[in-house]
Amino acid sequence: GQQVMQIPQYQHVQEGEDFTTYCNSSTTLSNIQWYKQRPGGHPVFLIQLVKSGEVKKQKRLTFQFGEAKKNSSLHITATQTTDVGTYFCAGPGDSSYKLIFGSGTRLLVRP
Amino acid sequence: GAGVSQSPSNKVTEKGKDVELRCDPISGHTALYWYRQSLGQGLEFLIYFQGNSAPDKSGLPSDRFSAERTGGSVSTLTIQRTQQEDSAVYLCASSPTGIAFETQYFGPGTRLLVL
């Protein structure tokens, strides 16, 4: 079945350093979504990418969708302690309603 | 309501007991999803509701797990004869119509601990 993989599983950075998480799908995706889950919290929607090669920015966060629409990345510039959490990508499964979530990348930021 | 709500927020039970977890989705959302998240892990899909029907129950781990939705709104996930491996956070999410393009709005989850 379809799989969505994320790397790395964990990333521990010094505050101010950059961070990137990568998402790879076994199949072409019509769109990809990113969610953030703070420690002890629940996933919260960040953004959706739809077009091949699309790049979107939210302040220090940059999201990219690959040209082949099988991979995506989230880059955070100059991390802050408020960025701590687990970042999940999610893409449509083999049905019209199901999102397949990646395994997540847990970001820890040392102050 | 303003968001997805779940109750209880925490549940401690003894092995072998039955538990019921409740989800109240955003008003007007026809799609409702249940996920399970073990400590430090990703989201495991359990079941999808469209209105009151569940066209996809493929993620339910065993026949001890069941779910229903009434009035196109509130959903209840029931775990019978709980086992220690059922300990996890159970998350509910809703979306307006259920197409995979839509954002899913998550509730705060129920943290289940089976002793």
Q: What is the pLDDT of residue A97?
A: 82
Verify whether the Cβ–Cβ distance A102 to B104 is below 8 Å.
Answer: no
Regions of chain A where pLDDT drops below 70: none
Q: What is the pLDDT of residue A74?
A: 98
Chain B contact for A43, CB < 8 A?
yes
Per-residue model confidence as pLDDT tens digits over B68-103: 999 889 999 999 999 999 999 999 999 998 887 889
In the block, which residue shows the tokens 């059922």?
A: B86
Of B7, B25, B31, B29, nearest to B111 by C-alpha is B7
Assess whether pLDDT exceeds 90 at residue B20.
yes
Contact A76, A11 (CB under 8 A): no
DSSP string, B73-89: S-EEEEE-S--GGG-EE
Q: List CB contacts of A81: < 8 A, sequence separation 6 or more.
A: A15, A109, A111
In terms of C-beta distances under 8 Å and separation of at least 24 residues, what long-range contacts does B45-53 make, across chains too? B45/A98, B45/A100, B45/A101, B46/B77, B46/B90, B47/B77, B48/A97, B48/A98, B48/B98, B49/B75, B50/A97, B50/B98
Question: Most A CBs within 10 Å: which of B36, B43, B57, B91, as the mutation test of the A interface?
Answer: B43
